[in-house]
Structures are given as structure tokens and as C-alpha cells.
Structure 1
Amino acid sequence: MINADLHCHSVISDGTLTPEELAQRAKVKGVNLWALTDHDDIGGQARAAAAAAAVGLDYLTGVEVSVSFLHQTVHIVGLGFDASNVALCLGLTQTRSGRAQRARDMAEDLARVGIKDTFEGAKKYAGNPDLISRTHFARFLVATGVCKDTQEVFRKFLTEGKPGYVQHRWATLKEAVTWITQAGGMAVVAHPARYKFSANEEFALFTEFKGLGGAGVEVVTGSHSTAEAAAYADIALEFALAASRGSDFHSPQESRVDLGDLPALPENLTPVWALLQDRIQRAVPVRQP
């Protein structure tokens, strides 16, 4: 069985490890095929591919694009694309451009409830100043004792209806899928059980996604229960989508599931990597001393 982990984050976005550290960790955890999927940024792809080759890991290029759909934020993972594609790079730059103002608005909102200096505080936790996210705010609020862990921060402050939550218009579903597919990659709906769609809204998401050229769905992820994985295995079959597998690993201290520590995909599904064989950057086996 291929132990593929095709969803994780580095310091380029909101992870705490470098691409090199992630590659090493993936190798130690028994991963055979890896992808770094930072939020809206492919600046770490060359480093990740080189690090994967250095430790003997097969590699797929990756990114996680933030999308607005029916007034919710949905994430679309792209796999196996050409990281030098101009349209993809420009699209991701445009998507990132609103994050700094959003972060300042979040800080102002938190200041109104007595939590001050959060923009500068969050910035210290951001490896990429263009990608200050809710996760960076959460880490700052934990470090300063406002909350005991990042989960508490999100419950109290950074989700819809709470102080500190600011809606941002991301890319459209059409834009994200088009950028990925025109760059030669596969578009995958990330961790679908996390979205709060009704049954009809979810059907609309997958129908439009498929119609635009989307080809995959994360079935086994760090945030899916066994029952949710089974439900999205059925969705994969219903919409003739390939199935992906990824931990969504961010940090040794914060993530519920480590790199590679996931159940296998159901055998009746088509793995995304079966359709991306020509896009996998094959590693030269590392010689043992």
C-alpha cells in the first residue's frame, strides 16, 4: 500500500515546520508519496521537492486554495501542477493580497473586546508576512495566556459570530479549479465534512466542482471520522471523483493526526495518485551507509 500524505502545511503559510523538516518527518513516519499544500502560496514548492528527493520521497506539487462558495470558505487542494504556471502564480498572488487587511481588521475587532496588539503578535508567528492567518492569531493568544489552546481560541474568538472573525472574499470555485487544471494539476475538495452545508448545498458544491473540471475529494483526512470518511467515499463514487488522503498536518503540538498516520483509502475508490503518475517527481533511493 502507498502511504500517501497529500495535505500538510509549512512555515510558508500556517505550519510551524520548514519544508525540509516536514519532508524528514514524513520519511520517518513511513510516508511514500508526499505533497506540501500551503495556503494560497507555492513559494515552498522548490524547497519541498528538493527535500523530498534528498530523503527518498516521491513528491507531488501541492497548494490549498481558499474559495468563497455560498457564503462559506471552502478549500480546494491542487496536486501535480506546474508550479511555474503564470496564471496560477498570479491567481494565488491575488488571493493572498487581501489577507493583510483582513488581519488588521481582525486585530481591531479583538481590541474592541479588550485584547490588544494582536496584529503585531500574530505577525511574529507568521513565517510569511503575506499570509497572516487565524492560526497565527490563535498561537499568539495561547502564548499570552488568553486561551489554553488554539481550539479554545477558535471557539471563543475566530469563528463566525465571534469577536475577531472577519469574512474575506477568496477566489471563486471556478477560478481555483481553472488555475489548477490549466496548470496541469488535479483539483480536490479538501476535508468536506468541515463545511456546514445543507445536503442541497453540498450537492451544489460537488455538482459545480465536477462541472468545472474538479476531479478529486479528500476521503481520509485528519479531520474526518470513520463515518465521515465512509460518507465521502460514497460521494466520490456518486460523482466519479478520485479519492485523496492527507493529514492536514500543521504542527507537532497542534495537529490531531501526524503525517502518514491515517487509515487506508477504501479499496473500491480510485486514488488520486493513480491518475497523477506522470506528475509524480520520483525520488532516487537513498543509499544507506
Structure 2
Amino acid sequence: MVDMHLHTTVSDGALSPTELVEKAYEKGIKVLAITDHDTVDGLEEGRKKALELGIEFINGIEISCDWLGKEVHILGYFINCEDEKFQSEIMALREIRENRNKKMLEKLEKNGIYITLEELQEEAKGDILSRSHMANIIMKKGYAYSKKEAFSRYLGQHGIAYVPKSNLSPDRAVRIIKENGGLVSLAHPKLITRDRGQILKIINGLKKVGLDALEAYHGKFQINDVKYYMDLAKETALLWTGGSDFHGNERDIIEIGDGEVPMYVYEALLIYYEGRKI
């Protein structure tokens, strides 16, 4: 089984890269990709443990973007972490995230919820500070009973403290990954919008700058969703990818391996990727 969409404590997951790979091994995963948000800092640790356990490991990343007020996430695979230009771009993404965090903390304060940057840094186990960490603090302080409530009332797209991901378009994210030599997939298209016409518009736009695939398998997708996005990938001459989108916390009840991605999905991607390098 394959899982190409996994998060660790380096971004907003609950398990360290080592713990994540160990749990994936217990679940029978043969191929995995760590795709932390806007960072590749956990890949070396994850790859080392995967090598010990005999798991095929893919360097991955998930870049968070904004498109007309909607959150769009771009997955990158087979990332070259030695690329200095890519590392510079990732540092710029971190600055964008930090500015967004400050704005959200300011909006929370205006609404009577006081969270300091120091508290947020203490809550995060890695260098990436996220809304997930804010949600944890909101719960601890009694402003919400669950992470779901924290997002719906405060941090989600319709929450009172929400701030869109500014200055980073999906097409720029695609270019960053393509210039690195990676393979690019549009993450969980169903979660962007239910408007299939808009999804097609996003796909067609991103294809012009190098989009390679759609994420057709996902921990929250039903069988009919998988079929729809596989068919859409075929219609738009794209490959497909898949993974659970596991975080390991209360926000989503998703386990490693959910989505049940078959091995041929990875094999097709690998053939395409290797062929492109020739």
C-alpha cells in the first residue's frame, strides 16, 4: 500500500518523522512521502528511518496557496533538497506564513482571544507555526471545545480571525517545484470547492505552468470521488496521486493508509518521473 500525503511535527502533524515512518511500517505501507506544509526539514530524518525499515521514501512538500480567496494546496514529489534556489524559495514561504500568523493573532486579540507569539512557538514542535497550533491553544484556553470548533469559529475560511494566504499563487508554487525538478500534483481538489467548473479552471491554468497530476485518492474521499477525479485526470491528460493526508490529531479522524492508494499509482508516477529525466 502507498501513502503519499503525510504530515509530521515539522509542520502541523502530531508525530515526529521517525514516529510517522514507524507507524506507517506497522500499517503495512510500502511507499510513503512526507509532505509537510511549506518545509522539507523533516525529510532527512524520515528517509533515514524508512531506509532502516525497508520502506520506499519520497521527498515531498505541500505548499499552501490562495486562489481568489480559496485555499489551494500544491503537492511536490521527488524534491531535490540540495537545491539552494529551492531552499531560498522555501524560506520566503516561511516569511509569508509568519506574517499571516501575526495578522491572525491580531484578529484573535481584537475578538478577545489572547495568544502570544511565544505561546505559539512553544506549542509548535518544529519551526513551522500553523493554524493547527493556534487551535490547540484556543482549546487549552477554553475558547473552543474541539479543534473543529476552533477552525469553524475562528481559524477556518469563514472564521472571525481568518487571513488568506497572501502573495503566493498556485501557479508560483507549481513553478517553484518544477524548477526544482519535482513532480507536481493538485492536492485534494474536492476540498478546494464543490464547484467543478472552478476546479477545471484551476487545473487548466496550472497545466500551463507544469501541473503533472491530481490527487484522486484521499482519506476523505468516497469511491465516487476517486472515480470522478481519476476520470478528470484522464480527460485533462494528467496522472493521479493519492494519500491519507494524515496529521494524527483531533482535527481530522484520518489514519495512515486511509484512501487505500494502490501500488500502481506510485509505479506510474515513477515511470513518468524517471522518463522525464532522460
TM over 0.5, yes or no? yes
Q: Does 1:184 align with 2:181?
A: yes
Shift of 1:112: 1.7
Q: Does 1:157 align with 2:157?
A: no
Of the candidates 125, 143, 146, which is equivalent to residue 146 of structure 1?
143
For residues 227 and 170 of structure 1, the distance between their equivalents in structure 2, rounded to whole angstroms, comes to 34
Q: TM-score, normalised by structure 2?
A: 0.91
For residues 53 and 273 of structure 2, the distance between their equivalents in structure 1, rounded to whole angstroms, comes to 19
Of the candidates 260, 268, 274, which is equivalent to residue 274 of structure 1?
268
Match of 1:194 in 2: 191
Match of 1:32 in 2: 30
Of 251-260 and 40-49, deviating more is: 251-260
In structure 2, the gaps of 5 or more residues are none
Match of 2:225 in 1: 228
Shift of 1:138: 0.7
For residues 233 and 18 of structure 1, the distance between their equivalents in structure 2, rounded to whole angstroms, comes to 32
Of 168-177 and 201-210, deviating more is: 168-177
Of the candidates 108, 122, 125, which is equivalent to residue 123 of structure 2?
125
Q: Is the 8 A contact 1:191 1:219 kept in 2?
A: yes
For residues 250 and 149 of structure 2, the distance between their equivalents in structure 1, rounded to whole angstroms, comes to 14
For residues 263 and 255 of structure 1, the distance between their equivalents in structure 2, rounded to whole angstroms, comes to 17
Deviations 1:83-132 (A, max 9, x none): 21222211111111122222122112112222112543332221234x21
Shift of 1:248: 0.7
Deviations 1:50-104 (A, max 9, x none): 1110111101110001122233221000011212122221111111112222212
For residues 271 and 249 of structure 2, the distance between their equivalents in structure 1, rounded to whole angstroms, comes to 30
Of the candidates 158, 168, 171, which is equivalent to residue 168 of structure 2?
171
RMSD of the TM alignment (CA)? Answer: 2.1
For residues 98 and 256 of structure 1, the distance between their equivalents in structure 2, rounded to whole angstroms, comes to 29
The AA in structure 1 aligned to 2:197 is N
Which SS does the other structure have where 1:263 is aligned? coil
Which SS does the other structure have where 1:81 is aligned? coil
Task: Figure out how many residues of one structure are paired with residues of the other and give that number.
Answer: 274
Match of 1:115 in 2: 113
For residues 110 and 120 of structure 2, the distance between their equivalents in structure 1, rounded to whole angstroms, comes to 17
Map 1:219-258 to 2 at 5 A.
Answer: 219-258=216-255
Match of 2:4 in 1: 6
For residues 170 and 230 of structure 1, the distance between their equivalents in structure 2, rounded to whole angstroms, comes to 33
Which SS does the other structure have where 1:128 is aligned? coil
Q: Is the 8 A contact 2:248 2:254 kept in 1?
A: no
Shift of 1:261: 3.0
Match of 2:58 in 1: 60
Match of 2:133 in 1: 136
For residues 251 and 166 of structure 1, the distance between their equivalents in structure 2, rounded to whole angstroms, comes to 25
Shift of 1:253: 4.2
Q: Does 1:94 align with 2:73?
A: no
Which SS does the other structure have where 2:112 is aligned? coil
The AA in structure 2 aligned to 1:8 is L
For residues 253 and 201 of structure 1, the distance between their equivalents in structure 2, rounded to whole angstroms, comes to 30
Shift of 1:275: 2.7
Shift of 1:219: 0.8
Q: Is the 8 A contact 1:194 1:223 kept in 2?
A: no
Deviations 1:157-203 (A, max 9, x none): 11234221112315222321122122221100001101126333221
Q: Which protein has the bigger helix share?
A: 2
Deviations 1:218-270 (A, max 9, x none): 111112233322221221111121111111111154432211133345x9xx7
For residues 87 and 73 of structure 1, the distance between their equivalents in structure 2, rounded to whole angstroms, comes to 25
CA 1:185–1:147: 2 relative to 1, 3 Å: same
Q: Is the 8 A contact 1:81 1:181 kept in 2?
A: no
Structure 1: 4+ residue segments shifted above 4 A: 277-280
The AA in structure 2 aligned to 1:274 is A
Q: Does 1:208 align with 2:205?
A: yes
Q: Is the 8 A contact 2:246 2:256 kept in 1?
A: yes
